[in-house]
Amino acid sequence: MKIRNFILVVLILFNLASGFTQTNYSGRGRPDQLILHTTPSVSLLSYKSLDSKSTISGNIGTGLEYGHFFNEIWGLSIGAEITSFSTFYHFKGRKDSLELFDNWSSRYYKLNQNLTTKEFQSVTYLSFPVKINYRHRLTKSLNVNVSAGVAYTLYFAENKSIVSGTIDRQAFFGDIYVNIDEFYPLMFGKFTDYINPSSEKQFKSTLLGVAQMGLSFNLADNWNMHTELNFQYGFQNIKTRSINLLIPDEYSGVTATNYIGEIHPLSLGLRIGVAYNFDLFGVDCKCHNTWYKK
* 77-103 tens-digit pLDDT: 999 999 999 999 999 999 999 988 777
Query: In this predicted model, which residue has the larger pLDDT, 273 or 26?
Result: 273
As beta bridge partners, residue 160 has: 121
Is 231 inside a domain boundary?
A: yes
By mean pLDDT, which of 42-51, 255-264, 285-294 is the weakest?
Answer: 285-294
Q: Which residues contact 110 (CB under 8 A, 6 or more apart)?
A: 97, 98, 99, 100, 171, 172
Give a yes or no: residue 236 inside a domain: yes
Question: Is residue 232 a part of any domain in this protein?
Answer: yes
The least confident of 82-86, 245-249, 266-270 is 245-249
Alpha carbon of residue 139 to chain centroid? 35
Most confident of 97-111, 170-184, 213-227, 277-291: 213-227
Confidence band, pLDDT 50/70/90 cuts, at residue 286 = very low
pLDDT band at 260 (very low <50, low <70, confident <90, very high): very high
Q: Which residue has the higher pLDDT, 117 or 101?
A: 117
pTM, two decimals, is 0.83
Range of the structural domain that residue 256 is part of:
2-90+123-161+199-278
**pLDDT score of 4:** 56
CB 166 within 8 A of CB 92: no
Percentage above 90 pLDDT, the chain: 67
Looking at every residue in the chain, the average pLDDT score rounds to 85
What gap in Å lies between CA 101 and CA 263, rounded to an integer?
34
Query: What is the DSSP-derived secondary structure letter of residue 201?
Result: -
168 is a domain residue = no
Q: What confidence category does residue 182 fall into, taking pLDDT thresholds of 50, 70 and 90?
A: low
The answer to whether residue 181 sits within a structural domain is no
- Counting the structural domains of the chain, the total is 1
SS3 52: coil
Is residue 105 a part of any domain in this protein?
Answer: no
Instruction: Give dist(CA 11, CA 149) in Å, integer.
Output: 12
Q: Residue 187 domain-assigned?
A: no
Confidence at residue 221, expressed as pLDDT on a 0 to 100 scale: 82
| 286 conformational bin, left if phi > 0, alpha if psi -120 to 50, beta if neither | left
* Residue 96 counted as domain residue: no
Q: Residue 55: which CATH number?
A: 2.40.160.20
Looking at the predicted structure, is the pLDDT value of residue 44 above 50? yes
Residue 31 above 70 pLDDT?
A: yes
End-to-end, the C-alpha distance of the chain in Å comes to 46
pLDDT class of 2 with cuts at 50, 70, 90 = low
Band (26; pLDDT cuts 50, 70, 90):
very low
6-24 average pLDDT score: 45
